[in-house]
Amino acid sequence: MRSESSMKVETMKARTSQPSATVAFSNSFLLGFVLVFSSAIGFCTLSSAHYSTLQAGTSDSNYDGGGSNISAFSRFNRYIMQSYYEKYENLFDSDFQDFVAQELPFGLCEVLPHDLSFVVRPSILHRNLIGRGSHRHLTSSIRVNIKPEPIYELPTHHCELIIIERLPSGVFADPFELQHLLQRGAYNAIAVFGDANLELPSFLSNRTAVEVHMDIGHNFLLRHDKESNINIELPLHARYPPLDESGYWEVKFGMPDLFMRCSMEGTSQNQSCLYKMPEINGSELGYANLVWKIPSGMKAHAGIVSTLTFVAALISAIAIAATSIFHSGVASGKHLKES
């Protein structure tokens, strides 16, 4: 009995000496964590305090004191769609057409021509939806012509073409992907407006619009009989569409809305002129029917899918439960037999 107890003491000693390294590790881990944690809390508190002052700051700058007659809205928006969303909540075609007809200030420039619709002609060379699955690219090739008519002396100016794609319901563009494109230098500016929540199915989300700004050139309006070709490629993604009997949901694309913004060299963008380009009739060119067929669930499947899903889950659960109970019961039985 004495030898047993001395063995026990020895093994106890062995066990206590072994984990000293783990104790040291544990203590340094804890210390490191406390340091990181306290700096995290300090940082978060500082940043959130800053955040609340920023919030107050931005709301002040929205207020515009003057009642200027010239501009229709209180501050200049780089993006047309931004002005649209200031007035309307959701994107509807009728609202957008009203907005373009009434709200936008067109041709409010002193020096540059007021109306370019007889001078500048856009046309679509081709328009396509490349790809086969839920992720496709909408490519458009647009040619902008200056008709050979005399234009008066114009100061040095710079123009950019603004293309607004009002995406149909069920298709969206990822703003972060577009940012990535922007960084690669493809466009002057690009922005997505509307619902960009990637996870919602289409019947729970609103339409989105993509606005692209592309440089069309220096002193563009003076270049008679010259054309500028613009190529755009937008990566688009499909949402889960509503259920359909046929198994596919068709999404139709309309034509893009084109605008041109010209500003004189040396002035800020505030003093630029915005022109609306004439409508392009897609049906003449056969582009009215750009269709994307998105696979959708079929209502007919609902009953059998739900039933079989639950049956499968239940069977698996019972199999696992039975094995656990049986196995742990058998184990103690075996041990008893051996002893």
Partner 1 sequence: MVSVQFRTLLIVSAILRVVLILYGEWQDAHMEVRYTDIDYMVFSDAASLMMSGKSPFERSTYRYSPLLAFLLIPNSILHRSWGKFIFSAADLLVGLLIRMILKLRGVPEKLSMISVIVWLFNPFTFTIGTRGNCEPIVCALVLWVFICLMNGRVLQAAFWYGLVVHFRIYPIIYALPILVILDPHVFQPGQKPRLQYWNRWQESPQSSSATRLAQLLCPWFLLKSALTRERILFSFISAVVFFLFTGLFYHLYGWDFLYEALLYHLTRTDPRHNFSIYFYHIYLQYHRKLSILEKLVSFLPQLIVQVVLVLSFAKDLPFCCLVQTVAFVAFNKVMTAQYFVWFFCLLPLVLAWSNMKLKWKGVSCIALWVGGQLHWLLWGYMLEFKGQNVFLQLWMASIIFLAANTYVLVSIIRDHRFSPVFAPLEKTSKDSKKLK
Residue closer to partner 1 (CB basis): 195 or 211:
195
Residues 175-214 that bind partner 1 (CB under 8 A): 176, 196-199, 201, 203-204
Structure tokens at 173: 């563009």
Residues 229-288 that bind partner 1 (CB under 8 A): 240, 242-243, 247-248
Q: Does the protein bind partner 1 through residue 308 (CB under 8 A)?
A: yes
Number of residues near partner 1 (by CB under 8 A): 73
Residues 15-34 that bind partner 1 (CB under 8 A): 15-16, 19, 21-23, 25-26, 29-30
Q: Does the protein bind partner 1 through residue 2 (CB under 8 A)?
A: no
Closest-CA residue to 126 (of 143, 113, 103, 111): 143
Report the C-alpha dihedral over residues 10, 16, 17, 22, rounded to 10 degrees: 150
Q: Does the protein bind partner 1 through residue 168 (CB under 8 A)?
A: no
Residue closer to partner 1 (CB basis): 125 or 204:
204
Report the C-alpha dihedral over residues 87, 235, 255, 90, rounded to 10 degrees: -20
Closest-CA residue to 261 (of 112, 155, 141, 73): 112
Q: Does the protein bind partner 1 through residue 298 (CB under 8 A)?
A: yes
Provide the minimum distance between the beta carbon of 100 and partner 1 in the complex, in angstroms, as a whole number.
Answer: 29
The piece of 61-69, 82-90, 160-168, 328-336 that touches partner 1 (CB under 8 A) is 328-336
Q: Is 219 left (phi over 0), alpha (psi -120 to 50) or beta?
A: left
Residues 38-77 that bind partner 1 (CB under 8 A): 40-41, 43-48, 50-51, 54
Residue 150 is which amino acid? P
Closest-CA residue to 87 (of 102, 70, 108): 102
Residue closer to partner 1 (CB basis): 66 or 329:
329
Provide the minimum distance between the beta carbon of 26 and partner 1 in the complex, in angstroms, as a whole number.
Answer: 7
Angstrom distance (rounded) from CA 10 to CA 252:
82
